[in-house]
């Protein structure tokens, strides 16, 4: 017989899978996909759920502007400040490096003085809206891990929408609406992230928090609050990440909410600082952005702990015999059972759900991968008498043991 039966236990496979789902105080990092171990029969591999480290994702994006010729400087223009129409010393000329404001300056290393920023043309066509789309594309699924922060050099826009795509830009969904007056702009009640609860986490809100008060020169940021949303599950200081990961594991909608392939900032109306637009000096109205922060990690379905950027493309370095940009398939000859994503549970190492070699033969999906050592460590008595089905532990050519419901 090809796969010797090692032992039979009086229990159902389901119980085995749940037996180790306790939540230790130390939280695993999921930074290892496998580790070597030893059994009586010699060396063996333990497989674990793994994910790449979170990183600054702005290094890997492509930016597209719509309309494409909306960047200032061709022809050169002089801008006045919103606060003082007589202060007109902001010059934009795309042909002069020091006076040009191309989109790349939204993603360069800041901390320089003066700041570097992208700037749009002014609102010359008023009252026609000054609408600009800034689309950020990764051509890769990304899981957000921190707030999206957009820092304006101009006043913050009076109306804007942050949108996301999960299908490489084919369809778009709003993430958040921003306006000085939500009812007027989008016929939505103004809300803040503090109004969101666990049950309304997927709700899309309009907030007035980041649009008002152009006079506050020190607050130029517009945020999409990822951490506040995480905190609804993980606690205020994100102490209980286990609870969050447990939720993400079991609720696909929640997981998808934080997953993107593209982001779009739709600027709909610039800061005007007053109710009336000064039609005689439209050089006061424009958009300028000095920085955009997007922190996240490659989505690799818990089958990779690194993601490489090569030939302008992000790709997961898949383990567990998975393949594809997101490790979303089983490799050829490793399709003995249907592909499935790794799981954060049981904490802290999760379940790898590796792809099994075809040589194992057809395997049902009710297979719970456990190393023999782990199984003997479990409280066997607890399962006794529960067995609607008897799990067997079998081993394949790779010295891998797993339970199979029979």
Ligand X SMILES: *[C@@H]1O[C@H](CO)[C@@H](O)[C@H](O)[C@H]1NC(C)=O
CB of residue 289 vs Ca ion: minimum separation in angstroms? 8
User: Closest CB to ligand X among 174 and 387?
Assistant: 174
Contact residue for Ca ion among 12, 58, 180, 290 (CB under 5 A)? 290
Distance CA 29, CA 54 (A): 11
- 302 touching ligand X, by CB under 6 A: no
Pick the piece of the chain touching ligand X (CB under 6 A) from 79-87, 299-307, 376-384, 389-397: 79-87
| CA-based nearest residue to 148, from 167, 173, 176, 172 | 176
CB of residue 88 vs ligand X: minimum separation in angstroms? 5
**The entry of Ca ion, ligand X, none that residue 191 binds, CB within 5 to 8 Å by partner kind:** none
- 163 touching ligand X, by CB under 6 A: yes
- 88 touching ligand X, by CB under 6 A: yes
CB of residue 223 vs ligand X: minimum separation in angstroms? 20
In three-state secondary structure terms, 135 is strand
Q: Are 176 and 207 in contact (CB under 8 A)?
A: yes
CB of residue 116 vs ligand X: minimum separation in angstroms? 22
Q: Are 266 and 129 in contact (CB under 8 A)?
A: no
Pick the piece of the chain touching Ca ion (CB under 5 A) from 109-117, 158-166, 301-309, 374-382: 109-117
Distances (CA, A) of 49 to 54, 346, 348, 376: 16, 10, 9, 21
Distance CA 85, CA 76 (A): 18
Stated length of the chain: 406
**The entry of Ca ion, ligand X, none that residue 166 binds, CB within 5 to 8 Å by partner kind:** none
User: Closest CB to ligand X among 247 and 404?
Assistant: 404
- 105 touching Ca ion, by CB under 5 A: yes
Distances (CA, A) of 398 to 3, 38, 39, 176: 11, 14, 14, 49
CB of residue 115 vs Ca ion: minimum separation in angstroms? 6
Long-range (24+ apart) CB contacts under 8 A made by 209-213 are 210/156, 210/178, 211/156, 211/157, 211/158, 211/159, 211/160, 211/178, 211/179, 211/180, 212/180
User: Closest CB to ligand X among 17 and 33?
Assistant: 33
CA dihedral 332, 336, 342, 345 (to 10 degrees): -170
User: Closest CB to ligand X among 246 and 299?
Assistant: 299
Q: What are phi and psi of 224, to 5 degrees?
A: -115, 115
Pick the piece of the chain touching ligand X (CB under 6 A) from 19-27, 50-58, 83-91, 231-239: 83-91
The strand pairing partners of 160, in sequence order, are 178, 267
Contact residue for ligand X among 164, 264, 269, 295 (CB under 6 A)? 264
Q: Are 344 and 350 in contact (CB under 8 A)?
A: yes
**The entry of Ca ion, ligand X, none that residue 105 binds, CB within 5 to 8 Å by partner kind:** Ca ion
- 164 touching ligand X, by CB under 6 A: no
CB of residue 273 vs ligand X: minimum separation in angstroms? 14
Binding residues for ligand X restricted to 313-372, rule: CB under 6 A: 313, 320-321, 325, 354
- 80 touching ligand X, by CB under 6 A: yes
Instruction: Label the pairing between strands 307-310 and 313-316.
Output: antiparallel
Q: Are 70 and 121 in contact (CB under 8 A)?
A: yes
**The entry of ligand X, Ca ion, none that residue 266 binds, CB within 5 to 8 Å by partner kind:** ligand X
| CA-based nearest residue to 319, from 45, 40, 112 | 45
Distances (CA, A) of 224 to 191, 356, 390: 13, 40, 50
User: Closest CB to ligand X among 14 and 131?
Assistant: 131
- 193 touching ligand X, by CB under 6 A: no
- 51 touching Ca ion, by CB under 5 A: no
Contact residue for ligand X among 26, 69, 218, 253 (CB under 6 A)? 69
Q: Residues binding ligand X: what is the number (CB under 6 A)?
A: 24
- 302 touching Ca ion, by CB under 5 A: no
Q: Which residues bind Ca ion (CB under 5 A)?
A: 105, 108, 110, 116, 290
State the residues that interact with ligand X by CB under 6 A.
47, 66-67, 69, 80, 85-86, 88, 121, 131, 133, 139, 163, 172, 264, 266, 281, 283, 313, 320-321, 325, 354, 398
């Amino acid at each position: 017989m090809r796969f010797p039966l090692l032992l039979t236990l009086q229990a159902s496979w389901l119980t085995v899978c749940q037996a180790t789902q306790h939540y230790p105080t130390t939280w695993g990092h999921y930074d290892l996909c496998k580790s070597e171990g030893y059994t009586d029969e010699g060396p063996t591999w333990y497989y674990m759920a793994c994910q790449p480290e979170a990183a600054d994702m702005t290094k890997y994006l492509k930016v597209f502007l719509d309309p494409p010729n909306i960047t200032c400087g061709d022809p050169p223009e002089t801008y006045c400040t919103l606060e003082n129409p007589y202060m007109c010393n902001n010059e934009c000329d795309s042909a002069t490096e020091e006076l040009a404001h191309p989109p790349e300056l939204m993603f360069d290393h800041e901390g320089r003085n003066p700041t570097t920023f992208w700037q749009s043309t002014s609102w010359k066509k008023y009252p026609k809206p000054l609408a600009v789309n800034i689309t950020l594309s990764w051509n890769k699924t990304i899981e957000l891990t921190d707030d999206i922060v957009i820092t304006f050099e101009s006043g913050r826009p009076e109306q804007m929408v942050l949108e996301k795509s999960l299908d490489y830009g084919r369809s778009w969904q709003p993430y958040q609406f921003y306006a000085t007056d939500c009812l007027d702009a989008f016929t939505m009640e103004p809300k803040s992230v503090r109004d969101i609860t666990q049950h309304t986490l997927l709700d899309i809100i309009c907030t007035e928090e980041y649009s008002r008060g152009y006079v506050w020169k020190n607050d130029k940021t517009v945020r999409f609050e990822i951490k506040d949303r995480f905190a609804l599950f993980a606690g205020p200081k994100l102490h209980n990440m286990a609870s969050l990961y447990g939720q993400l594991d079991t609720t696909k909608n929640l997981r998808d909410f934080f997953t993107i392939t593209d982001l779009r900032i739709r600027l709909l109306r610039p800061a005007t600082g007053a109710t009336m637009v000064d039609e005689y000096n439209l050089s006061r109205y424009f958009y300028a952005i000095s920085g955009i922060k997007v922190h996240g990690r490659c989505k690799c379905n818990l089958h990779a702990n690194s993601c490489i950027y090569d030939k302008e493309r992000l790709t997961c370095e898949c383990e567990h015999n998975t393949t594809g940009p997101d490790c979303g398939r089983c490799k050829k000859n490793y399709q003995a059972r249907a592909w499935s994503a790794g799981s954060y549970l049981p904490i802290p190492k999760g379940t790898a759900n590796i792809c099994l070699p075809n040589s194992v033969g057809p395997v049902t999906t009710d297979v719970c991968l456990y190393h023999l050592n782990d199984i003997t460590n479990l409280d066997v008595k607890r399962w006794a008498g529960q067995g609607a089905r008897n799990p067997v532990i079998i081993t394949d050519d790779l010295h891998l043991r797993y339970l199979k419901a029979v």
